[in-house]
Structure 1
Amino acid sequence: MEKRKPAIGKAARAGVIALAAALVPALAPVSGPATAQTLPTAPPYEREMHRLAEILGAVHYLRQLCDADEGQTWRTMMQQLIDAENPSTERRAKLVDSFNRGYRGFEQTYHTCTETAVWVINNYMAEGAEIAQRIATRYGQ
């Protein structure tokens, strides 16, 4: 069976990318380096960031599997979010783990592009856009 490109609207993909791009500056740190007295705890949107990281990992794998020809778009987007967030080493490792968990979870079960894979892509992109919008709206600067 040949791989086929997912039937995902350009608007949905553009929406996710635009929201993530808006999220990056919203997460940019506003203060100087942390001191022992100002070491940050996890932000209130931490769970949402981990879910977004998982989604980006899953979409990165599935879009490649379905011949979307996007290169490293989703991995780059994850890196931009991490760079904007500027997390501690421990938080960064956890975000990377979430991305990798999303990627590997689908890598283990999907070896060809199927209608279900396309369905997952579409749903994950919608969920990712909602999460990015929610974070940017609630916590953006």
Structure 2
Amino acid sequence: MRKPDRKVKRRSRYLVAPVLALSVLLSGAGGPSALAASDTKPYDDRLLRLSEILGAVHYLRELCGANEGQYWRDRMRDLMDAEGSTALRRAKLTRAFNQGYRSYSRTYNTCSPSAQTAINRFLSEGSELSDGLLKAFPN
């Protein structure tokens, strides 16, 4: 098992802060009744993509020996707590996370340079998505 390179470990922090900030902002956006008012949001596509990225990162970071345990799954849980206002929304978010996880578990059995590259790209894309969501929907 390879140890993760330091660059990947540092970059992971850049995705965490926006995801956490996003979950806090969205959870406070008018309270639970405002979130439950509609099952679809204008940012759902981006939110589902972020969920898929979290699933892929969860699998790949563990595969590459990051020893983060359930860290990325916990970030997904934070996102679901903020955005999973209905059973349908929670199911969609869960499905996207699982799709990201399963897709890469079928593709990668060992930590390779390609897997490391995928991690870096996902962390970058996830950070951009989180930042974009925060800017577009500041509440």
TM over 0.5: yes
| Residue 49 of structure 1 pairs with residue 60 of structure 2 | no
Between the aligned partners of 2:78 and 2:138, the Cα distance in structure 1 is 16
Deviation larger for 65-74 or 9-18: 9-18
1:13 positional shift: 1.2
Secondary structure of the equivalent of 1:33?
A: helix
| Residue 124 of structure 1 pairs with residue 122 of structure 2 | yes
- Superposition RMSD in Å: 1.5
Tell me the percent identity: 41
Secondary structure of the equivalent of 1:27?
A: helix
Is the CA contact 1:8–1:122 (under 8 Å) kept in the aligned structure 2? no
> Which residue of the partner structure matches residue 12 of structure 1?
11
Q: How does 1:59-78 map to 2 (within 5 A)?
A: 59-78=57-76
Letter in 2 for 1:135: L
Between the aligned partners of 2:6 and 2:55, the Cα distance in structure 1 is 17
Between the aligned partners of 1:32 and 1:138, the Cα distance in structure 2 is 20
Secondary structure of the equivalent of 1:67?
A: coil
* Structure with higher helix content: 2
Alignment TM-score, normalising by the size of structure 1: 0.90
Alignment TM-score, normalising by the size of structure 2: 0.91
Between the aligned partners of 1:44 and 1:118, the Cα distance in structure 2 is 32
Gaps of 5+ in 2: none
Query: Which structure's CA Rg is the greater one?
Result: 1
Letter in 2 for 1:113: C
